[in-house]
Amino acid sequence: MDSKEYITSGKIEEYILGLLSPKDEKELLEFAEKHPEIKQEIEANQAALNQYANAFSQIPPADLEESIIAELDALAEEEANAPQKRTLTSSVNQEKLAQNTQIKTISKFRIPLIAASVALLLSLVGNVLLYQNWQNTQRKLHTALLDNTQFAQKLQVNQTENQLLAQKLDLLKNPANQYVELKGSDAFPESKVLIYWDDNAETVFLQIENLPEPPEGKQYQLWAIYQDKAIDAGVFETGDKAKQLQKMKAIAGADMFVVTLEKKGGVPQPEGQAYVIGKVS
């Protein structure tokens, strides 16, 4: 039989449908080995039949795969155990036995499962460590930011102090300025206030060195005493602003300066107790 005859004989179709006798089948396959066109013909028919079979596709029940895998699993376990029954004739066998014993409870199908579990566990541990690390970093960052803020605040304080010192220096360097130290009265010996007064420009700067915090509703007021008259030089702040130079009201002439405690907002003429007094030299 030649190729053409084979193709027209219908044997190829019979073969793929499983109709040929073993003898005819063997003959056909041997012939196909030597004749690529026959092999091709077989493949083409087979592909068509496969597609026909494929047309009946049905999604199998969802749990079927699991059930099959369980059986394969059991099989793999059996295989792993089987060599143990053999007699140990060589060291090779012993080695195999050792290996098999090791994996006897871990079947081929469970190894990936265990590997996955281990990977998951490692991943979880890794996550915890990373989380802790992250938290640490967060804390450190927070501390750093706090420090930064503190430094910034300190810097600002320093800058303010610098500014103050610079202003003071300017006031002191200016020969027009008179420096008056107001010392505590007998009742308040610890109190001290500094006054820089330029009688030409009539500017007065006040700096608190030490004054008790005034009670609620009260405020300190500066007076210039000139020719036995008290001239209001304005009220001033205490507390946070206490160390700053505070510009007071313009004063043209003064023999001395006095600070009294008055009601908040000040009064036209001094009524309260004098805290500090200083004579203009």
Partner 1 sequence: MQASSKLLHQELELINLLKQKDRQSFSTLYDRYSPALFGVILKIVKTEEVARDVMQESFVKIWKKIDSYDREKGTLFTWILNISRNTAIDKIRSADYRHSQQTSDINDEVTKTQPSTQTPIEHIGLDTLVKSLRIEYQEVINIIYFKGHTHTEAAEALSIPLGTLKTRVKAALQELRKLT
Give CA–CA dist 229/213, Å, rounded. Answer: 27
Give CA–CA dist 226/271, Å, rounded. Answer: 17
Q: For residue 60, state whether it binds partner 1 (rule: CB under 8 A).
A: yes
Count of residues that bind partner 1 according to CB under 8 A: 40
CA-derived radius of gyration, the chain: 53
Q: How far is the CB of 97 from partner 1 (least distance, A)?
A: 20
Q: How far is the CB of 89 from partner 1 (least distance, A)?
A: 25
CA angle (192, 196, 197) in 5-degree steps? 130
Q: How far is the CB of 111 from partner 1 (least distance, A)?
A: 8
Q: Which of 2, 5, 18, 173 is in the footprint of partner 1 by CB under 8 A? A: 18
Structure tokens at 94: 């012993």
Give the range of 45-53, 95-103, 160-168, 211-219 binding partner 1 by CB under 8 A: 45-53
Q: How far is CA 88 from CA 102, 124, 170, in A?
A: 17, 43, 105
Q: How far is the CB of 42 from partner 1 (least distance, A)?
A: 8
Q: For residue 10, state whether it binds partner 1 (rule: CB under 8 A).
A: yes
Q: For residue 71, state whether it binds partner 1 (rule: CB under 8 A).
A: yes
Q: For residue 69, state whether it binds partner 1 (rule: CB under 8 A).
A: yes
Q: For residue 227, state whether it binds partner 1 (rule: CB under 8 A).
A: no
Find where tokens 């265990």 sit: 114
Residue number, 33 or 161, with CB nearest to partner 1: 33
Q: For residue 14, state whether it binds partner 1 (rule: CB under 8 A).
A: yes
8 Å CB contact between 76 and 42: no
Give CA–CA dist 205/178, Å, rounded. Answer: 10
In the sheet that holds 256-263, the strands lie side by side as: 229-236, 218-226, 256-263, 274-279, 177-184, 192-198, 203-210, 246-247
Q: For residue 48, state whether it binds partner 1 (rule: CB under 8 A).
A: yes
Which 3-state string (H, E, C) describes 32-88?
Answer: HHHCHHHHHHHHHHHHHHHHHHHCCCCCCCCCHHHHHHHHHHHHHHHHHHHHHHCCC
Q: How far is the CB of 127 from partner 1 (least distance, A)?
A: 25
Q: Which of 1, 72, 114, 128 is in the footprint of partner 1 by CB under 8 A? A: 72
Window 95-154: residues binding partner 1 (CB under 8 A): 108-109, 111-112
Q: Which residues bind partner 1 (CB under 8 A)?
A: 10, 13-14, 16-19, 29, 43-61, 64-65, 67-69, 71-72, 75-76, 108-109, 111-112
